[in-house]
Structure 1
Amino acid sequence: MTTETPASAPALPYGQLIPVTVHFDELDALGMLHNARYPLLAERAWLQLWQERIDWQTSGDGSAVVKELRIVYEEPVHLPGPYAVHLWIERLGTTSLTYGFRLCAADGGVTHAHGTRVVIRLDPGTLRPTSWSEQFRAVCHSLLRPAE
């Protein structure tokens, strides 16, 4: 079995598809991806996306806390190998951000789980909510899901 990711991600109507790998040691005793690994894979995909698009040193947007995490499990992951996380922004507030994610097949087809996560940006000195930088807001706008 190959663990190579596709050379190019399929075109999506919104958001971005980030390749991820499920490793054998992430499967539980039943041979399925452990439920706690799904949001972890989404978090790692976001970290990769942000590192590619944001200069954390100058933006100051790296301090955020989770307010809410919702996830729905649709189809178990039974095999290690290449998968993807489809990421998008649901809502961008002054100090909050709601993002959506889908753990899916590497080609973006089959959805294994989907959910949302709400984070609040904090001032690292006061630990009080503070506004996102313009640089961060610009990146978020490029990932916004169109209104339905």
Structure 2
Amino acid sequence: MSVEPLQTAGPGPYTVPYGRLVPVTVYFDDLDALGMLHNARYPLLAERAWGEYWHAQGFAFDGDWATAGDMCNVIKEMRLTYERPITRAGRYAAHLWVERLGRTGLTYGFRICSADGTETYAEGHRVLVRVDFATMRPTPWSDRARAIADGLRRPEAGAA
């Protein structure tokens, strides 16, 4: 899976005015007994998309938390609103962006949407806090992580 603009057999690549569209796949076994994507799968799709994005930027976790750096972070808050159900398996996208970047915290937004980004199925945000593995206390993001996150910032409301 690539984090480049989504390529499909139809028109594309698809772009969004801010952030990134990362392709995600819904499989038949992700659907619940009513034939809808199970509610717990939406945040999982966003999580996997963010993992793909950061991995493509050179950030990875090899199992050693002491050397994980920026990958050593914890979730402080998560909010998710379901707009309409996904009712079949197939290719979709996660639209990812950064809402706020603080010294130790990062709030990112996401939408689970159609592959072209035009239809929204669910949207939300998640607040992460970068922690030092030895102390489990908040610690600043690296300059490299900050620069990458800055490139995904959502413009302020009303900004041109």
Same fold, TM exceeding 0.5? yes
Other structure's SS at 1:61 match: helix
TM-score, normalised with respect to structure 2: 0.86
RMSD: 1.7
- My pick for the range that moved more, 9-18 or 135-144, is 9-18
2:51: which partner in 1? 47
Over 3 Å counting, the alpha-carbon distance change for 1:98 and 1:56 in structure 2 is same
2:3: which partner in 1? none
Higher relative contact order (CA 8 A, sep 6+): 1
> 1:55 deviation in Å?
3.5
Distance 1:102 1:63 in 2: 24
Distance 1:5 1:54 in 2: 22
2:134 equivalent to 1:132: no
2:80: which partner in 1? 71
> 1:122 deviation in Å?
0.4
Other structure's SS at 1:120 match: strand
2:17 equivalent to 1:13: yes
1:36: which partner in 2? 40
Contact 2:85 2:121 in 1 (8 A): yes
Over 3 Å counting, the alpha-carbon distance change for 1:55 and 1:36 in structure 2 is closer
The alignment-based identity, stated in percent, is 56
Other structure's SS at 2:71 match: coil
- My pick for the range that moved more, 75-84 or 53-62, is 53-62
Other structure's SS at 2:51 match: helix
> 1:6 deviation in Å?
1.7
> 1:56 deviation in Å?
4.2
- Structure 2, gaps ≥5 residues long: 1-5, 62-66
Residue type of the alignment partner of 2:8: P
Over 3 Å counting, the alpha-carbon distance change for 1:73 and 1:118 in structure 2 is same
Distance 1:5 1:30 in 2: 30
Task: Give structure 1 regions of 4+ aligned residues with deviation exceeding 3 angstroms.
Answer: 54-59
> 1:9 deviation in Å?
3.5
Distance 1:86 1:43 in 2: 12
- Structure 1, gaps ≥5 residues long: none
